[in-house]
Amino acid sequence: MNLEESKIAIIGLGYVGLPLAVAFANKYKVIGFDINIERIDELNLGHDRTLEVEDGLLNSVLDTDNGKPVGLHVCANKEAIKKCNIFIVTVPTPTDRHNRPVLTPMIKSSEIIGGVLKKGDIVIYESTVYPGVTEDEMVPILEKVSGMRFNQDFYCGYSPERINPGDKEHTVTKILKVTSGSTAEIAEVVDQLYKSIIIAGTHKAPSIKVAEAAKVIENSQRDINIAFINELSKIFNLMGIDTAEVLEAAGTKWNFLSFKPGLVGGHCIGVDPYYLAQKAQEIGYHSEIILAGRRLNDSMGKHVASETIKLMIKKGISIQHSKILILGFTFKEDCPDFRNTRVIDIIKELLTYDVKIEVVDPWANSEEVLNEYGILINNEIVKNNSFDAAILAVGHQKFKKIKFSNVMNDKAVIYDVKGVLDKDIIDGRL
C-alpha cells in the first residue's frame, strides 16, 4: 500500500475522532463520517462544540466540496467512504446500567465498513475494548457483511486512543501512539501511517490483543490508584488529619506516585475497568482489586454529600429545604465534557434530604445536560441568591475567583472536593 495515496475514513467524529481526522487531513484525503447530522452540520460551519479542535485549525483543513487532494470532508453519507482504503473506528465503548460493556457502536460501525470494504483495505480500531474484541467480535462482522476473508482480502489493526479531553498540551500528535496489525506486514503499515503524523513517535505492539490489553490497563491502573487515595481520605478524615497535607509530605519521596482524591468520571477511567473485569469473568476469573477500586470510586459522590450534610448539622443548619450550591457538572475542569460525570451522584444523594439545589457550570451545555440528566443548570450563579452550603465539585478556573461571602449565608458550609480553594474559607475537603 502506498500511504501517500491512501484515502482515510474516520468513523465517529467526537472527542477522539475529530482531532485525529484533523491531524491526518494535513497529509491525507480524509472523510469524516458520523451518524449525528447535527454534529456534521456544526463541523461544516467550522465549529467544534467539544472545543477539542480550535475553529481556526478546523477551517484550515476543512474541505466542504470534497474536491481537494488532501483535507477533511465531513458527512453522514455512507456512500462517501466507499473510495477509502483505510478505515479508522473511533466510536465510544460505554457500559450499560449494570456496568456491562456495550459494543453496539463498534458493531454498527463494522457493519457500515463491511458494506464498502474492498480487497486490500485495512480497518483500524481505536475504541477502548477488552483483549480479543477486534479479532473475535469485529472481524466476523466484517467478514459476514463484506463476504471477504480476514488476512487474505482485508486486514485489521488496533491503535488505542490516548486523548485527554480538555488538555491543550497533550494533544493527539504529541502523545506516543501504540500500534498493531493483524499480520507483521500490516502492523508495519499501520505503524508507518501513525508515525507520519504523531510527533511523539509510536510503539509497535507484537499483536492486536497486546495493544488492546495495554490500553485497557492504562485507565484501570489510574482508577485503582485513585481509589487507594480516596480510601485514605476517608480514613484520615475520621482521624482528623488533612489528606492534602499527608500527600504533600509523602510526595517528597522520589518514587511516591502522585494521585489526589476525587470523583472519578468521564468516558475512560470510570468505564474501562469494567471491560477488563467482564473479560476476566468470561474466562473464569473473578476480579477483586479492579472491581473493589470501582466500587470505592463510585461511592465518592454519596460520601461527599453525606460529609456536607454532617457539617451542616454541626453548624446548626436546618437540612430540610436548605439551599445548596453545586459548583461544576462536567467530569473534569475547564472542559465541556460531562459524559459519565459523577457529580450526578452528589446531586442524587442530596435530593434524598429534601434540599434545594442550584447547579452552576460555565462550561457545560445546559440544554444537553437537561436532555441527558433531566437537571437544570446555570452557567453563572443566580444573583441575589444565598446558600446554606456550597460544594465545589469541579475545579474550573472561574470558580477560584468566586467571593463566597457574597453568595453564602453567615454560617454556611463550604466543601471543596478538588482541594483548590483557600483552606481558611472551607469547612471540609476530601
Helical (H) or strand (E) element with 325: strand 323-327
Task: Provide the 8-state DSSP code for 65.
Answer: T
Q: Determine phi and psi for 312, rounding to 5 degrees.
A: -65, -40
Q: What is residue 167's predicted lDDT score, i.e. its pLDDT?
A: 80
6 — pLDDT class (breaks 50, 70, 90): very high
Task: Provide the 8-state DSSP code for 427.
Answer: S
Q: How many helices (H) and strands (E) does the chain have?
A: 13, 14
| Residue 382 pLDDT greater than 90, yes or no | no
Q: What is the mean pLDDT of residues 409-417?
A: 94
pLDDT tens track for 318-346 = 999 999 999 999 999 999 999 999 999 99
Task: Provide the 8-state DSSP code for 28.
Answer: S
Q: What is residue 168's predicted lDDT score, i.e. its pLDDT?
A: 83
| Residue 166 pLDDT greater than 90, yes or no | no
Q: What is the mean pLDDT of residues 174-200?
A: 97
Q: What is residue 67's predicted lDDT score, i.e. its pLDDT?
A: 82
CA–chain centroid gap for 65, Å, is 32
Query: Can you give 258-291 as a three-state secondary structure string?
Result: CCCCCCCCCCCCCCHHHHHHHHHHHCCCCCCHHH
37 — pLDDT class (breaks 50, 70, 90): very high
Q: What is residue 343's predicted lDDT score, i.e. its pLDDT?
A: 97
Q: What is residue 165's predicted lDDT score, i.e. its pLDDT?
A: 79
pLDDT tens track for 273-331 = 999 999 999 999 999 999 999 999 999 999 999 999 999 999 999 999 999 999 999 99
Q: What is residue 245's predicted lDDT score, i.e. its pLDDT?
A: 94
Q: What is residue 378's predicted lDDT score, i.e. its pLDDT?
A: 94
| Residue 384 pLDDT greater than 80, yes or no | no
Question: How many CA atoms within 13 Å lie on the side-chain side of 183?
Answer: 11
| Residue 174 pLDDT greater than 90, yes or no | yes
Q: Determine phi and psi for 315, rounding to 5 degrees.
A: -90, 0
Please, are residues 204 and 188 in contact by the beta-carbon 8 Å criterion? yes
Give all domains of the chain, ordered by start, each with its CATH number.
3-209 (3.40.50.720), 216-296 (1.10.1040.10), 299-429 (3.40.50.720)
Separation of alpha carbons 248 and 419, rounded Å:
12
Indicate which residues carry an active-site annotation: 268
Q: What is residue 3's predicted lDDT score, i.e. its pLDDT?
A: 86
Q: What is residue 267's predicted lDDT score, i.e. its pLDDT?
A: 80
What does the block give as the cell for 343? 457529580
| Residue 225 pLDDT greater than 90, yes or no | yes
Please, are residues 331 and 15 in contact by the beta-carbon 8 Å criterion? no
Q: What is the mean pLDDT of residues 58-64?
A: 93
| Residue 40 pLDDT greater than 90, yes or no | yes
Q: What is the mean pLDDT of residues 378-405?
A: 91
More confident residue, 68 or 355: 355
Going by DSSP bridges, is the β-strand pair 122-125/356-360 parallel, antiparallel, or unpaired? unpaired
pLDDT tens track for 71-122 = 999 999 999 999 999 999 999 999 888 888 899 999 999 999 999 999 999 9
268 — pLDDT class (breaks 50, 70, 90): confident
Q: What is residue 64's predicted lDDT score, i.e. its pLDDT?
A: 85
Helical (H) or strand (E) element with 345: helix 343-351
Cα–Cα nearest to 25, from 13, 37, 35: 13
Q: What is the mean pLDDT of residues 394-416?
A: 93
Q: How many CB atoms lie within 10 A of CB 154?
A: 25
Q: What is the mean pLDDT of residues 163-168?
A: 81
Q: What is residue 316's predicted lDDT score, i.e. its pLDDT?
A: 95
Share of the chain above pLDDT 70, in %: 100
- pTM value > 0.75: yes
Helical (H) or strand (E) element with 416: strand 408-416
Mean residue pLDDT of the chain comes to 94
